[in-house]
């Protein structure tokens, strides 16, 4: 509301002035005109330079460090750091963990977010209250989330007290568990699901699934009532309307959620660092934690840089196809 | 079957999810108000028999300097990055030039990099310019890496202002800066609120920069909280009180201005 009145006032303001302007306007020198022409770029220059240096320059710098063999004093160029990484048990465990974590976390967030959006789309009493309730964890730090859930999943406290009261025979060990649901063997590590990660996934879903809900709700608002009505007239059941009409229209939202939550998940650091740390046998380690400890605890700069290069590659590998798919669905939608 | 009964599963599902969402809040709040004798993990779910501020006082005594650090970080960083984003967004929305879309997209990509990839050069650079382990160093970092998101939100915001207003101002003889000051800026309050709330929340909650760039007395509150929770000797009730205190500023903002927070959330995710 405030915005529209603001526009109106400014518009009429500009309108009255423009009636006099041809008389008031000063002639401009060619130099001043040229300055005006380059002014947009000039004003953007600090930001362009900052991003050029602090993003693109620094990526190149890290790339160089990753092949520099730089520990403390000795530097020489080699890709040995990467070779070592891919035969490093801790790194491979972390890589497996972060991929398992990402699949579980993003998958669960998409399912829960979509379910919540569909519930709220049925227009329950107090819809805004429910929505705000499901969204508030997004305003909280991963550090706070980690501290609290660490206690909730403490095997001697929290959830287990409830399960014990309910008469559960064998209480889960949550993030302390060293069990790994068997998969297949790949070199040194099991490509499988460490049970300890489930607790971290639940905490992350608690924090972020509201994001998926918000995106889906925005998407559902875009599905017009006319369209639903038309489908209903055509004899489609409510279930069919969801499956055939609404879900396909929500595909771009799903891609957006996968991009945003996926890249948050791949670089995840604070939640793991606070809640569990690397864990026994690295069952909850992730590359970002290993990167931090290598670089700032062990002065293994080349290894830290190499891990972060792998992280960047992971994020690009996730985003490139997702962005491509989104552009395609957007093109399809605009045709 | 009547309507209320038919909708019972809907409300059951909503209540169950709401309980899950409130679970950590419940534990934090009840524990932080327990008398120390009752703050045992074996009695974690029990309500306090009497109200006690002991944990709040002990928590605040530890966190106070770090809360101050966090405000000294988040307030200037939010103001500066909002200002930078506003000018950038205004130019990208209204003063497009040849190649401006490419520049815009190149800036935007900075939002999606895993920050680990810039961490080592960043620490070295801050060290060289004497800003390592300082709050201004953290402010600078947040302003720089906030450029993509603040620019994006403001660009989408200004894109909704009708071009005719800008053109009218130009016919008046106002240049880029005059139009910004006289037309764009007065309309920008909702944009500043959205970006300001978003940036404040992100900066307040951030951990990776904070833990790598600062140490000891310069630390923001989230690093201090992590230290408390990592320590075996710190009591459970104090941890919960400290966690609640660290979360409180952004929670209060969310309760008061949640609408704008959600707008930032959506603006950041949906490319305009």
What is the CATH classification number for the domain harbouring A128?
Answer: 1.10.3720.10
Q: Which residue of B has its CA nearest to A295?
A: B120
Query: Has residue B183 got a pLDDT over 90?
Result: no
Q: What's the whole-number mean pLDDT along residues A64-86?
A: 71
Spell out the residues 6+ positions from residue A40 whose beta carbon is closer than 8 angstroms to its own: B91, B95, B97, B100, B176
Answer whether A273 touches B (CB < 8 Å): yes
pLDDT of residue A77: 55
A123 contact residues in B (CB cutoff 8 A) = none
B207–A143 CB contact, under 8 Å: yes
Q: Identify the bridge partners of residue A189 per DSSP, sorted by sequence position.
A: A186
Query: Has residue B206 got a pLDDT over 90?
Result: yes
Q: Is residue A43 part of a domain?
A: no
Strand spans (E) along B90-138? none
- Contact between residue A149 and residue B213 where contact means Cβ atoms under 8 Å apart: no
B173–A21 CB contact, under 8 Å: yes
- CA-closest candidate to residue B201, choices B261, B113, B131: B261
- Contact between residue B172 and residue B188 where contact means Cβ atoms under 8 Å apart: no
Q: Is residue A252 part of a domain?
A: yes
Print the domain residue range for A213. Answer: 80-334
Query: Has residue A38 got a pLDDT over 70?
Result: yes
Q: What's the whole-number mean pLDDT along residues A156-178?
A: 88
Q: Which residue of B has its CA nearest to A316?
A: B113
The C-alpha atoms of residue B22 and residue A133 are separated, in whole angstroms, by: 8
Q: How far is B205 from chain A (nearest CA, A)?
A: 4
Confidence of residue A233 (pLDDT cuts 50, 70, 90): confident
- Contact between residue A119 and residue A311 where contact means Cβ atoms under 8 Å apart: no
Q: How far is B213 from chain A (nearest CA, A)?
A: 10
Confidence of residue B174 (pLDDT cuts 50, 70, 90): confident
pLDDT of residue B34: 94
Q: Is residue A170 part of a domain?
A: yes
Residue listed under structure tokens 């530097």? A75
Q: How far is CA B152 from the centre of its chain?
A: 16
CATH class of B54-269: mainly alpha
State the CB neighbour count (10 A cutoff) for residue B45: 14
Out of B10, B44, B212, the one facing A122 most closely (by C-beta) is B10
What does the mean pLDDT of chain B come to? 92
B176–A39 CB contact, under 8 Å: yes
Answer whether A35 touches B (CB < 8 Å): no
Both tokens assigned to B139: 């402010």
> ipTM for the complex?
0.94
A36–B243 CB contact, under 8 Å: no
Q: Which residue of A has its CA nearest to B212?
A: A296
How many domains are there within chain A? Answer: 1
Long-range contacts formed by B30-36: CB under 8 A, 24+ apart: B31/B55, B31/B236, B31/B237, B31/B240, B31/B241, B32/B56, B32/B59, B32/B237, B32/B240, B32/B241, B32/B244, B34/B237, B36/B235, B36/B237
What does the mean pLDDT of chain A come to? 85
The C-alpha atoms of residue A49 and residue A58 are separated, in whole angstroms, by: 12
pLDDT of residue B7: 86
B165–A18 CB contact, under 8 Å: no
Q: How many DSSP H helices and E strands does chain B contain?
A: 13, 0
Residue A121 sits at the vertex; the CA angle it makes with A115 and A126, to the nearest 5 degrees, is 105
Residue-wise pLDDT for A271-324, tens only, equals: 999 999 898 889 999 999 999 999 999 888 889 999 999 999 999 999 888 888
């Amino acid at each position: 509301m405030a915005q529209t009145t603001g526009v109106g006032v400014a518009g009429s303001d500009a309108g009255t002035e423009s009636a006099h302007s041809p008389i008031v306007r000063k002639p401009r020198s060619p130099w001043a005109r040229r300055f005006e022409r380059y002014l947009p770029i000039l004003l953007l220059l600090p930001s362009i330079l900052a991003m050029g240096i602090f993003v693109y320059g620094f990526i190149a710098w890290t790339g160089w460090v990753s092949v520099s063999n730089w520990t403390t004093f000795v530097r020489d160029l080699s890709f040995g750091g990467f070779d070592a990484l891919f035969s490093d048990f801790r790194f491979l465990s972390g890589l497996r963990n972060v991929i398992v974590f990402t699949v579980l976390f993003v998958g669960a967030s998409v399912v829960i977010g979509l379910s919540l959006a569909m519930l709220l789309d049925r227009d329950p009493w107090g819809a805004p209250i429910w929505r705000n309730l499901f969204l508030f964890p997004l305003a909280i730090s991963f550090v706070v989330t980690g501290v609290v859930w660490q206690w909730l999943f403490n095997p001697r406290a929290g959830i287990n007290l409830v399960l014990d009261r309910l008469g559960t025979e064998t209480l889960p060990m949550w993030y302390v568990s060293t069990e790994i649901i068997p998969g297949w063997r790949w070199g040194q590590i099991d490509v499988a699901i460490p049970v300890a990660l489930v607790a971290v996934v639940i905490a992350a879903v608690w924090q972020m699934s509201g994001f998926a809900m918000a995106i889906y709700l925005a998407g559902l608002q875009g599905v017009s009532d006319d369209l639903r009505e038309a489908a209903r007239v055509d004899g489609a059941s409510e279930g069919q309307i969801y499956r055939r009409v609404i879900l396909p229209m929500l595909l771009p939202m799903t891609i957006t959620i996968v991009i945003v939550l996926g890249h948050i998940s791949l670089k995840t650091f604070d939640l793991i660092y606070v809640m569990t740390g690397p864990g026994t046998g690295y069952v909850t380690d992730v590359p970002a934690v290993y990167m931090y400890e290598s670089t700032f605890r062990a002065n293994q700069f080349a290894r830290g840089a190499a891990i972060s290069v792998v992280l960047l590659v992971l994020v690009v590998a996730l985003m490139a196809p997702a962005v491509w798919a989104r552009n395609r669905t957007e093109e399809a939608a605009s045709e | 079957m009547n309507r209320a009964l038919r909708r019972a599963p809907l409300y059951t599902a909503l209540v169950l999810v709401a309980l899950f969402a409130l679970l950590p809040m419940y534990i934090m709040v009840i524990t932080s108000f327990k008398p120390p004798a009752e703050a045992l993990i074996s009695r974690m779910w029990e309500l306090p028999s009497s109200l006690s501020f002991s944990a709040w006082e002990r928590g605040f005594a530890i966190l106070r300097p770090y809360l101050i650090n966090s405000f000294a970080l988040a307030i200037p960083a939010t103001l500066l990055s909002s200002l930078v984003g506003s000018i950038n967004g205004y130019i990208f929305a209204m003063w497009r030039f040849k190649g401006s879309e490419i520049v815009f997209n190149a800036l935007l990509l900075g939002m999606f990099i895993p920050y680990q990839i810039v961490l080592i050069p960043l620490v070295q650079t801050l060290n060289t310019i004497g800003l390592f382990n300082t709050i201004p160093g953290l402010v600078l970092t947040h302003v720089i890496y906030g450029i993509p998101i603040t620019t994006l939100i403001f660009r989408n915001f200004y894109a909704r202002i009708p071009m005719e207003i800008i053109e009218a101002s130009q016919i008046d003889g106002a240049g880029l800066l005059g139009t910004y000051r006289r037309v764009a800026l007065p309309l920008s309050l909702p944009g500043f609120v959205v970006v300001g709330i978003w940036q404040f929340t992100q900066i307040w909650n951030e951990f990776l920069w904070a833990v790598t760039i600062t140490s000891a007395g310069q630390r923001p509150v989230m690093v201090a909280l992590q230290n408390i929770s990592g320590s075996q000797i710190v009591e459970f009730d104090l941890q919960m009180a400290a966690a609640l205190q660290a979360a409180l500023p952004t929670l209060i903002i969310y309760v008061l201005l949640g609408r704008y927070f959600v707008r930032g959330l959506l603006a950041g995710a949906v490319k305009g």
